[in-house]
Amino acid sequence: GAGVSQSPRYKVAKRGQDVALRCDPISGHVSLFWYQQALGQGPEFLTYFQNEAQLDKSGLPSDRFFAERPEGSVSTLKIQRTQQEDSAVYLCASSLGLRDRGSPLHFGNGTRLTVT
Amino acid sequence: GDSVTQMEGPVTLSEEAFLTINCTYTATGYPSLFWYVQYPGEGLQLLLKATKADDKGSNKGFEATYRKETTSFHLEKGSVQVSDSAVYFCALPNDYKLSFGAGTTVTVRA
């Protein structure tokens, strides 16, 4: 496709349920990021992949959050035992090369997760 | 770490009004600076960028100048349209991550 695709677009989960959010980056993009955007806030970094390697997961808020990119393309962000504070928009972004300080990212439209 | 502080919103304007959104940064060096925009129902997209001091980024009638003296990167547009209604984010790279401001919601009324 032409851009970064995320699914589902909206997800409602009952507290305690597990959820899986999918990201299809632009074909051939090496770098992939997940960000969390709480209501009224800017996106906050969660994790970074370079191909299939997860090089940085320092932004994951707890061990309930897990991300993978097993074949270096599609990525899944999984949240176990969801809590209300997990309600946010989860953004995926990709870029063609290795990250440097000047390269912009291509963002998907995000998945809005609501935990009830 | 490096960070940006962005003017809080929301901002409501009439068409053809002048728009300024303030952004200041804190950084150890001279990173690139970005403005991203999020239109309703869409993903974040890069609006403009500047890679060094005194650079001016511009796109879609928007401009921002990287000012080292005041550590600022204010976003301006001389005559806004209804289609400019969106959330605007100032950002800078922290190594390979992006640090974003809180965002400023702009609503332009016809």
pLDDT tens digits, residue range A61-105? 999 999 999 999 999 999 999 999 999 999 999 988 765 545 668
Judge residue A71's burial from the number of C-beta atoms within 10 Å of its C-beta, 0-12 exposed, 13-18 middle, 19 or more buried. exposed
B44: closest CA of chain A, how far (Å): 6
Residue B94 predicted with pLDDT over 90: no
Residue B42 pLDDT exceeds 90 = no
Judge whether A111 and A8 are in contact, CB under 8 Å. yes
C-alpha dihedral (A69, A71, A73, A77), degrees to nearest 10? -20
Spatial neighbors of B107 by CB under 8 A, at least 6 apart, are: B10, B11, B12, B13, B85
A25 touches chain B (CB under 8 A): no
pLDDT at A1 > cutoff 70: no
Q: For A12-51, how does the pLDDT look when each residue is reduced to its tens digit (9 = 90+)? A: 999 999 999 999 999 989 999 999 999 989 999 999 999 9
* B91–A contact, CB cutoff 8 A: yes
HEC profile of chain A = CCCCEEECCEEEECCCCCEEEEEECCCCCCEEEEEEECCCCCCEEEEEEECCEEEECCCCCCCCEEEECCCCCCEEEEECCCCHHHCEEEEEEEECCCCCCCCCCEECCCEEEEEC
Contact (CB<8Å) A40/B89 = no
For residue A45, which residues of chain B lie inside 8 Å, CB to CB? 97-99
